[in-house]
């Protein structure tokens, strides 16, 4: 069931949003609906595969940093 929603926004922002919707070949209502769908989907926790879940946080107490990783890649590929 579709319901009407009233938003109060700056005129310039509305004009930019309308132009964006036109460029995308969609209505402004569809752009807003797409955004809400993405926004609410991202907020739900994503299920990770068991093997991936077992690796989460495994290095949090290690003293490795980005430079260690770069050094590893250089040794491996150069």
SS3 state of residue 66: helix
What is the reported pLDDT for 70? Answer: 92
What is the reported pLDDT for 9? Answer: 94
Token representation of residue 68: 């260690």
Tell me: pLDDT of 77 over 60: yes
**CA 24 to each of CA 27, 40, 60: distance values in angstroms, whole numbers, following the listed order:** 9, 21, 42
Tell me: pLDDT of 15 over 90: yes
Instruction: Give pTM, 2 decimals.
Output: 0.51
How far, in Å, CA of 13 to CA of 10, rounded? 5
């Amino acid at each position: 069931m579709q319901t009407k929603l009233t938003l109060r926004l700056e005129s310039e922002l509305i004009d930019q949003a309308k132009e964006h919707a036109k460029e995308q070949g969609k209505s402004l209502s569809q752009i807003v609906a797409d955004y809400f769908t993405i926004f609410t989907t991202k907020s739900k926790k994503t299920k990770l595969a068991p093997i991936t879940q077992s690796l989460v946080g495994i290095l949090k107490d290690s003293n490795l940093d980005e430079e260690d990783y770069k050094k590893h890649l250089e040794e491996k590929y150069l």
